[in-house]
Amino acid sequence: MILIFLILISILILIHEFGHFLMARIFKVRVEEFGIGFPPRIFKIKKGETLYSLNLIPFGGFVRLYGEDEKKFASDSFSDQAPLKRLAIILAGIIFNIILAYLIFIIILPLGFYKPIFDERPGQIMIVEVAANSPAFLIGLQKGDIILNFDQIKNFQDFVSQNKGKEITLNIKRENKILTLKTIPRIQFPQSEGPLGIGILKVELTKVNFPRNLIYGLYLTFDTLNKMIEKLKDIFKNILTEGKMPQDVVGPVGLFYILNQLKVFGLNYILFVFALISLNLALINVIPFPALDGGRAIFVAFELLTGKAPNKKFEAILHLTGFIILILLGILITFKDIKMIF
Q: Is 80 exceeded by the pLDDT of residue 331?
A: no
pLDDT tier at 12, thresholds 50, 70, 90? confident
pLDDT over 90 for what percent of the chain?
53
Nearest-Å Rg of the Cα atoms of the chain is 25
- Lowest-confidence segment of 193-197, 318-322, 329-333 by average pLDDT: 329-333
In single-letter form, the type of residue at position 9 comes to I
Are β-strands 124-130 and 168-174 bridged in parallel, bridged antiparallel, or unpaired? unpaired
pTM: 0.80
Alpha carbon distances (Å) from 274 to 5, 160, 268? 10, 36, 10
pLDDT given at position 255? 62
CB 197 within 8 A of CB 189: yes
CB 172 within 8 A of CB 179: yes
Burial class from Cβ neighbours inside 10 Å (0-12, 13-18, 19+) for residue 24 reads buried
Q: How far apart are CA 313 and CA 320, in angstroms?
A: 11
What is the total residue count of the chain?
342
pLDDT given at position 233? 83
pLDDT tier at 254, thresholds 50, 70, 90? low
Taking phi over 0 as left and psi of -120 to 50 as alpha, with beta for the rest, 336 belongs to alpha
Are β-strands 177-183 and 168-174 bridged in parallel, bridged antiparallel, or unpaired? antiparallel
| 199 bridge partner residues | 129
- On average, the pLDDT of the chain sits at 87
Q: How far apart are CA 206 and CA 94, in angstroms?
A: 26
Give 135-187 pLDDT, tens digit per residue: 999 999 999 999 999 999 999 999 999 999 999 999 999 988 999 999 999 99
Q: pLDDT: is 46 or 255 the higher one?
A: 46
Q: Compute the Cα dihedral for 160, 265, 113, 176 and give only its sign.
A: negative
Q: How far apart are CA 12 and CA 2, in angstroms?
A: 15
Q: Is the peptide bond before 310 cis (omega within 30 degrees of 0)?
A: no
Q: Is 60 exceeded by the pLDDT of residue 248?
A: no
